[in-house]
Chain A
């Protein structure tokens, strides 16, 4: 049984490796190349494919996604920073292109909205709990009153 689970897990990890497309940084020294590879894969996961509803460019088959990956590779080889590259894409494709929207006034609702919503719901739930308790208490009260009478 444990062997089966282990085998399944191993299969999934193999899938993850296969999904990464090998990219060529061979003109750099191996250490440098390895770092660029890592940044390449990282950037591909935080950039959104403009033609897809909700996929990063790492996971999308769309032609524009592969164009963007190629561009990322080129910009990395040119020595640009991760921020430069993200900025480059956002300049052309808008904030939609990044899975990390900035935390500025107009995106406060995006970032904090769900949390706020959660608090309101918890508040509502607790209020309802208190109300029902109060109701059942007054029921007990009127029962007692009823007994005295």
Chain B
């Protein structure tokens, strides 16, 4: 019996080890956000619809943006900036995504000329680009840097969020199932 007691510190250590091991994986930046599950906050932001022939900057409200991009399927908000090195890395995947999913680019703390250069150089994957120069709206989304990507349901709920480069693996693990789940069927049965 007394011998067994000596194993207690070892078991505690193993227990701690397991707890710590389970915590490995999600970076702390992915933990530092509480907006998933909440309604997407309202906004009025200047934006460009670069798919138009003559893109002029105009103010867009959340309702207007939803009217454009929320066509019965969840849509993405991709926080990007020309000063963000990782945004160059994920741009290719965003472009591929944009073939199937509506993506709104939220230009974060970035002078419009620089954003324009970024999109001209790399190509514009976004259905709409919104400019958040002071970063105030991004603050309301719990954004702490770029790149970050949010999945928004057709009725305006924040379904998922990823901080960091989004690639095929991240999409499959975090977004794909929710995107399927919340896509409204074209034909009601």
Contact = CB atoms under 8 A, between A and B. Distances in A.
Verify that A and B bind, or say they do not: yes
Contacts, number: 56
A50 B34 CA distance: 11
A94 interface: yes
A120 B8 contact: yes
B31 A96 contact: yes
A67 interface: yes
Interface in B97-151: 109, 135, 139-142, 144-145
A71 interface: yes
A11 to B, nearest CB: 34
Contacts of A127: 2, 5
B132 to A, nearest CB: 12
Nearest to B145: A51
A115 to B, nearest CB: 14
Interface centre among A62, A64, A91, A124 (most CB of B within 10 A): A64
B28 interface: yes
B144 A51 contact: yes
A94 B33 CA distance: 5
The prevalent SS among residues of A at the interface is helix
Q: For the side of the interface on A, what is the size category?
A: 20 to 34
A67 B33 contact: no
A93 B33 CA distance: 4
List 5 tightest A-B contacts by C-beta distance, closest first. A50-B32, A94-B34, A92-B142, A50-B144, A96-B32
Interface of B: 2, 5-6, 8-9, 12, 28-29, 31-35, 109, 135, 139-142, 144-145
